[in-house]
Amino acid sequence: MKNAADDLRQTVDSAYSRLIAIDDDKAGMSRSAGKWSPREVIGHLIDSAINNHGRLVRARLGDDMVFPGYEQDAWVKVQGYSDRHWMELVELWRMLNSHIAHAIETIPPSDATRMRRHHNLDQIAWRTVPADQPVTLEYFVRDYVAHMKHHLSQIP
């Protein structure tokens, strides 16, 4: 899983240098009506990190990959990310993902590639998997990073 952890680190490091160049005022501006501002996108990625870290740990400790979901728009709204300082959000996102990369690196190959028949990635994954198809923890990790890259591309 070292290559997946390295991909996450590289994604975060590359985005970090771009994100810190965005000033606080611009970070609060939405691209268009109904779309998240950069602050809210990073807030969503913070929520994703928090939720997916817990899912990663639960998957390591259990035999299935059935995880609770969360209402993404509501989480962003009730936490008031639009009122937070940009650099505080960026630093929190960076540090959470640094820890997740470390946790990913500790996954033994046997855990990463073990097929899990019972999962709900048909409901909670970014790139969903039909419920009748087995999944691996490695797939889950790579989906997390792909989801992050997708949202980072939404920040100009």
- Answer yes or no: are the C-beta atoms of 44 and 151 closer than 8 Å: yes
Kindly list the domain boundaries of the chain, sorted by start residue: 2-19+38-152
pLDDT at residue 53, as a whole number = 98
Those residues whose C-beta lies under 8 Å from the C-beta of residue 89, and which sit 6 or more positions away, are: 27, 39, 42, 43, 46, 81
pLDDT at residue 130, as a whole number = 98
Tokens read off for 36 = 């998240």
CATH superfamily assigned to domain 2-19+38-152: dinb family like domain (1.20.120.450)
pLDDT interval class at 98 (50, 70, 90): very high
